[in-house]
């Protein structure tokens, strides 16, 4: 029998909801991890290929699209044991380096803005789906004529 994963939940095409499962030293600052099997069964995302943008569901600051940080999606498995333990049901795992960076910034501004385990998070994968080379070529051709 196939294991069921609670997260991520797709609620609109290329948009998913999950919760923060924890923070890991195995991930780089610009990486976000989700259980490999949860990605496979619950999403159309492709690990190591897709770029996602994260946003807090509650209390997140709304920024223009071009100012948001992109993260590389890392499928978590037995090669990342500390991380996969925090994503048993498909929860999002963030980098400890990112947490340290956010804590330093938020100590002065707003200590309540640091992400917490169990907090709901929006995963936006439209960056990869829309902003690929073909899209860029079409836009360049449309506005500047044929590009060689």
Mean pLDDT estimate for the chain? 84
Which of 120, 14, 45 is closest to 33 using CA atoms? 45
Domains detected in the chain: 9-144 (2.40.40.20)
User: 25-59: buried (b, 16+ CB within 10 Å) or exposed (e) per residue?
Assistant: ebbeeebbbbbbbbbeebbebebeebbbbbeeeee
Alpha-helical runs (H) found in the chain: 36-42, 81-84, 96-109, 126-130, 133-144
- pLDDT band per the 50, 70, 90 thresholds, residue 1: very low
Q: Is 123 exposed, middle or buried (0-12, 13-18, 19+ CB in 10 A)?
A: buried
pLDDT tens-digit profile of 71-85? 999 999 999 999 999
Averaged pLDDT, 126-145: 66
pLDDT above 50 (res 7): yes
Rounded alpha-carbon distances, angstroms, from residue 3 to 6, 7, 37, 89, 141: 10, 12, 9, 10, 46
pLDDT above 70 as % of the chain: 76
Query: What is the band of 121 on the pLDDT scale with cuts at 50, 70, 90?
Result: very high
């Amino acid at each position: 029998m196939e294991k069921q994963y609670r997260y991520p939940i797709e609620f609109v095409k290329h948009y998913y909801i999950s919760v923060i499962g924890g923070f890991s030293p195995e991930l780089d600052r610009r990486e976000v991890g989700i259980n490999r099997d949860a990605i496979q069964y619950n999403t159309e995302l492709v690990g190591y290929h897709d770029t996602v943008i994260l946003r807090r569901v509650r209390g997140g600051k709304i920024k223009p699209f071009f100012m948001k940080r992109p993260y590389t999606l890392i499928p978590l498995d037995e090669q990342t044991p500390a991380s996969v333990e925090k994503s048993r049901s498909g929860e999002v795992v963030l980098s400890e380096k990112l947490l340290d960076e956010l804590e330093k910034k938020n100590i002065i501004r707003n200590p309540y803005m640091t992400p917490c385990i169990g907090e709901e998070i929006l995963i936006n994968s439209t960056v990869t789906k829309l902003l690929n080379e073909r899209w860029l070529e079409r836009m360049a051709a449309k506005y500047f004529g044929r590009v060689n």
